[in-house]
Structure 1
Amino acid sequence: MGVLPVRLPRLLVLAAVTAHGLVLEMLAGPLPGIYDPTGPGKLLFAFFAAGRISVRRLLEGLPGIGSVKAEQLRSELGISSRRRVQGLGPRQREALLQRFPADT
């Protein structure tokens, strides 16, 4: 009778992936690295772990920035005291990146 509408996006993704010669692997359990930061999924683990950190803790982790300076910076940039990194808006993210440019 046809493909259910909910399944259609999955089939389109599968078709696009296989058209480029990639192979999808079915996961039968937890993704390696989720619980073991040294396992094969360590990059994924780091990505999600970093997003869950509060902005205050991220700032305090930078060299030369303590709790007082982190609080001042957070306040100057208009970031809530309870905001997590993954919840930053585009302007807040841009303000942080301008304040702390990446080393190139």
Structure 2
Amino acid sequence: KQEKPATKKEEKSSTNKLFGGGNALQSNEPTTTEIYADEAYFDSNKSMGIFSGRVKVTDPRFNLQSDKLTVFISKGENQGLERAIAEGNVGLVRDRPDPNGGPPTRAIGRA
């Protein structure tokens, strides 16, 4: 079965607080985040989305996989990711730039 993006969302770097961002990746330019999943549900009244089944998130700052991902979008003029909850077989990979210009440090986590 070929994977297709469940959604493609552009947002400003508001997830830097959640996932930490290197200086090289922090900017006012929009960042493209792709979320792939077997199923997706959106509730625009609650500003939330639920992705389930082989969830994969690809972002320039990190890659994440899980069985389920619930995202909450901030309301108002500056819409962006407010928070995200990943559940079931969670894996996260993030490269942190070296402040001294050396190679990045790779952080890998599983829950």
TM-score norm. by structure 2 comes to 0.23
Which one has the bigger helix percentage?
A: 1
TM-score norm. by structure 1 comes to 0.24
Point out which structure has higher relative CO (alpha carbons under 8 A, 6+ apart).
2
Which one has the bigger strand percentage?
A: 2
